Amino acid sequence: MHPHLDDLVRHARQHAPFYAELYRALPAAGWRLRDLPLIEPADYWRHSMPLASWPVLTGPVTDGHVFKTGGSSGEGKLSVYTRAEWNDFVRAFGTALGSRLRPGDRVANLFFAGDLYTSFLFIHSALALSPVPVCEYPFTGTMEPAALAQAVELHQINVLACVPAQLMRFAGHLAAAGQVLPGVGTILYGGESLFADQIALLRDTFPNALFASIGCASVDAGLVGASTPDCALGEHRVFDGETIVEIVDEASGLVIDEVGRNGVLVVTNLKRRLMPLIRYPSGDLAAWCEPAGGAQRKFVLRGRASQGRRVRVGTLSLFPEEIDGLVREQLGDVLWQLVIGRADGRDQLTLRLLAECDIDSAATARLRAALLTRLPPIRAGIEQDQLRLLVEHGPLAQARFHPRSGKLMRIVDQRDYAADAEGAT
């Protein structure tokens, strides 16, 4: 067992009512990591507003940072770091990020800022703490494509750091203008996977670019995985000493140790004590790439888990409970399944309503309109030609069920994650 884990669990039990109840039957000593129950995200985030009464926290929020976790309806949950925890977070990530940079690189930070979102500030801080000296150009993700293209050439920027959806928008502008940026040698993406069809298009405008993950982290789970030069797209290495990563069978909850078998990525953050995360399911599917026992064990992301708390599609974050609330509001107690795919170079969301009786087209149209109104990022993705939204209905027999548990899969991610590794070279 990791030497810091016992102290972390003791601290959480003593100071956070949530963990005191969760570990009520756990002995004071003699337990292993696998004996700790997995967190149920819905329970974890319940009563999280206001922060002062959130039973997960081990103390008052008096020194540090408060961020949104990415809610799409304006009601995103909040994630809290003390100042020391935040500094540890960005320092560890920045150290790993240095392996993807060269001295003197000119880096355009194109991540997003404002409204309590963290990606721009996080990358800004990580670049500042990178052991490799670089020059950052903090444009943010709201930079207009024409102005960005001009700035990249003017300042001889050779590294772009961005989310894939913003990168595709920029590449689309360049293609329409007949522009090519051969001076960009590295593109570091984060927040979502980059797929083979996207890379094929990007090579037309960035012919000399190496595509790589900037690293795997989230504002709720913290550090997840480092992107190192020996990682293909989708692959990352565990931050030993900072984070414990497990891969757990989605049906049984048992830990997976063998290579190549998919399971839910579970994170324990060893440094966060104000808002502890101990065996927290990230919502991602992953598989080990290397046998157990080695340092910084490598894993590969394989899409979204079928019961994930949050679904990330491009810059869009969706919470299944939000979708469920809209379905109930418009149609009543109807089962549904969200299928994520790709078609014609775009992400595609298909909300399948599962009912034996017919659902008239007017009802599905009302539901689609409600999704666009209440979840503005979906509408924005459609307007930017990065996303399609379909609402369909059919019998329950057409739904996808988990092959082992038999449960209805709320999220079915059909995107080809194996193909993105092929596009890296």
pLDDT digits (tens, 9 = 90+) for 83-93: 999 999 999 99
pLDDT of residue 421: 41
> 1 falls in which pLDDT band (50, 70, 90)?
low
Most confident of 16-25, 319-328, 338-347, 356-365: 16-25
Q: Which of 24-38, 69-83, 99-113, 127-141 has the lowest mean pLDDT?
A: 69-83
Residue 182: pLDDT over 90: yes
Residue 70: pLDDT over 70: no
pLDDT of residue 308: 59
- pLDDT tens-digit readout, 273-308: 999 999 999 888 899 999 999 999 999 998 777 565
pLDDT of residue 375: 82
> 157 falls in which pLDDT band (50, 70, 90)?
very high
- pLDDT tens-digit readout, 223-236: 999 999 999 988 99
pLDDT of residue 374: 84
Mean confidence (pLDDT) of the chain: 88
pLDDT of residue 216: 94
> 422 falls in which pLDDT band (50, 70, 90)?
very low
Instruction: Tell me, letter by letter, the H, E, C secondary structure of the chain.
Output: CCHHHHHHHHHHHHHCHHHHHHCCCCCCCCCCHHHCCCCCHHHHHCCCCCHHHCCCCCCCCCCEEEEECCCCCCCCCEEEEEHHHHHHHHHHHHHHHHHHCCCCCEEEECCCCECCECHHHHHHHHHHCCCCCCEEECCCCCCCHHHHHHHHHHCCCCEEEECHHHHHHHHHHHHHHCCCCCCCCEEEECCCCCCHHHHHHHHHHCCCCEEEECCEEECCCEEEEECCCCCCCCEEEECCCCEEEEEECCCCCCECCCECCCEEEEEEECCCCCCCCCCEEEEEEEEECCCCCCCCCEEEEEEECCCCCCEEECCEEECHHHHHHHHHHHHCCCEEEEEEEEECCEEEEEEEEECCCCCCHHHHHHHHHHHHHHCHHHHHHHHCCCEEEEEEEECHHHCCECCCCCCECCEEECCCHHHHHHCCC
pLDDT of residue 77: 82
Q: Which of 54-63, 79-88, 165-174, 405-414 has the lowest mean pLDDT?
A: 405-414
pLDDT of residue 155: 97
pTM of the full predicted structure? Answer: 0.80
pLDDT of residue 250: 82
> 76 falls in which pLDDT band (50, 70, 90)?
low
Residue 360: pLDDT over 70: yes
Q: What is the mean pLDDT of residues 414-419?
A: 70
> 59 falls in which pLDDT band (50, 70, 90)?
very high
pLDDT of residue 192: 82
How large a percentage of the chain has pLDDT more than 70?
A: 92
pLDDT of residue 73: 39
Q: Which of 51-55, 188-192, 337-341, 405-409 has the lowest mean pLDDT?
A: 405-409
Residue 309: pLDDT over 80: no
